Structure 1
């Protein structure tokens, strides 16, 4: 009796198995080489003086439609140190990476709040905002360049502090609000904004910053060329100094209300950098 060995089938099976191994290895290599998909960071929005969190409404709607979790934080507007401490408490409750966005004086606050949080705050976005260096104040940066008419549009309102000393809040006069702050916002909306404006402590605008997170965290900036609060020259100077990725838009200081589309594009650009 002759026993025949199935040499050919075995050989073919061996080739097939080897082919599968090569294919698996190739696919593994392709998977390893593929770029990592961006994560969805939480977008934290910090408003500035003479505004409140509702000034971000149009931006929030667009970001949420794009799939981003969003927090529009309340800014106490008492001073960079106190306001930054409050914002850090908000950041402490958020899991995962964050893109931190500040408008106007809110830029001063995020620059201080994000210092030392590079593992959490992955990008800073400045919207018609201050990017102060250590030792600089919002008012000092405004006065360094021509173009702001804010000084003629505001009025202080005195109040008594718990220790009996006097403080002063600063408001924009209602009849000057739209021209000064929101010239490209519809008149009816501007009237609502004027009525609901949040005052800033006068001392907050003079308080020097002690941290400048833009030195260690990638930054984006939206410069508003029709701004009567922060001179466009000041915005350009600060953005260039911070090596921020800068976009300019023909808008008033209230750009988050008048041009939420432009603001959202800059925020999304920063968010796409987070991996």
Structure 2
């Protein structure tokens, strides 16, 4: 279902104040037994790294939520999901699993078999069905600028076979990835981007965890990587609680308050 997202101008300070106030009452579980807060696991996508969640992490930590943002290997869909699944194996207690971009493919697969994952949160992320890939979904309707902006760099695997990494052309990075961030910041992001292996970006997803785990979806309406129409379609079939905000693809960087609010909505509904 779609929930109108009217507070575009939420500031991080205002949200942090709300979170802190709410965290006191949230310390108790549904029956007032003092249940622990869930660990929030944040999974980044390609052409980025975990530092993209810095603003969101700061707000979550200030509100008392244990938070971890592991490095997504960005090598292969199945292997990336297996790695994040192994991280989940080390966490006791409830988990809220959130992701950005290709990270959505990873959590859709990694969450399977983890009964402690209480919610999936997609922040401008892919929520594929079985047999779909990130590249297939991104190009399924017009609107994505990613394809023409990719630079391919071959590399040699230990067994002598060849893989191919994709980078976003630095000259096009801001327009494609983060048009609402200052150019001084996007220059740094372009220089430090982690490439996505084409085997991962084109890898087929398995049975989606969103079929059995409730999901929340924040759609950036100015996204030039994953067309908003595709995100709306994915959110609708997953039965996600959906919000929209005027933002570029990197919604968790340009709007950390909105990203945090979406995670907190998942927490409030599943605790």
The question of a shared fold, defined as TM-score above 0.5 by the shorter chain, is answered with yes
**C-alpha separation in 1, matches of 2:47 and 2:30:** 43
2:199 to 203, 215, 220: 203
Q: Does residue 143 in structure 1 map to residue 160 in structure 2?
A: no
**C-alpha separation in 2, matches of 1:104 and 1:246:** 16
Structure 1 pair 35–55 and aligned structure 2 pair: CA distance change class (3 A): closer
Q: Does residue 49 in structure 1 map to residue 46 in structure 2?
A: yes
* CA deviation after TM superposition for structure 1 residue 39, in Å: 4.2
- Quote the residue 2:156 is aligned against: 160
Deviations 1:7-60 (A, max 9, x none): xxxxxxxxxxxxxxxxxxxxxxxxxxx952564100000000100000000000
1:108 to 96, 105, 108: 105
Q: Is the 8 A contact 1:41 1:274 kept in 2?
A: no
Q: Is the 8 A contact 2:77 2:199 kept in 1?
A: no
**C-alpha separation in 2, matches of 1:211 and 1:170:** 26
- Unaligned 5+ segments in structure 1 are 1-33
Q: How many residue pairs align between the two structures?
A: 241
Give me the CA root mean square deviation. 1.2
* CA deviation after TM superposition for structure 1 residue 63, in Å: 0.4
Structure 1 pair 35–114 and aligned structure 2 pair: CA distance change class (3 A): closer
Structure number, greater radius of gyration: 1
**C-alpha separation in 1, matches of 2:88 and 2:252:** 22
**C-alpha separation in 1, matches of 2:183 and 2:257:** 20
- Quote the residue 2:25 is aligned against: none
- Unaligned 5+ segments in structure 2 are 1-28
Q: Is the 8 A contact 2:98 2:120 kept in 1?
A: yes
Deviations 1:228-258 (A, max 9, x none): 0000100000000000000001000011111
Deviations 1:79-102 (A, max 9, x none): 210001100111111110000001
2:233 to 220, 234, 237: 237
Q: Secondary structure at the match of 1:147?
A: coil
- Quote the residue 1:252 is aligned against: 248
Runs of 4 or more consecutive aligned structure 1 residues displaced over 4 Å after TM superposition: none
2:186 to 184, 190, 204: 190
**C-alpha separation in 2, matches of 1:202 and 1:273:** 36
**C-alpha separation in 2, matches of 1:205 and 1:92:** 25
**C-alpha separation in 1, matches of 2:235 and 2:43:** 18
- Quote the residue 1:171 is aligned against: 167
1:58 to 35, 55, 64: 55
Q: Does residue 36 in structure 1 map to residue 31 in structure 2?
A: yes
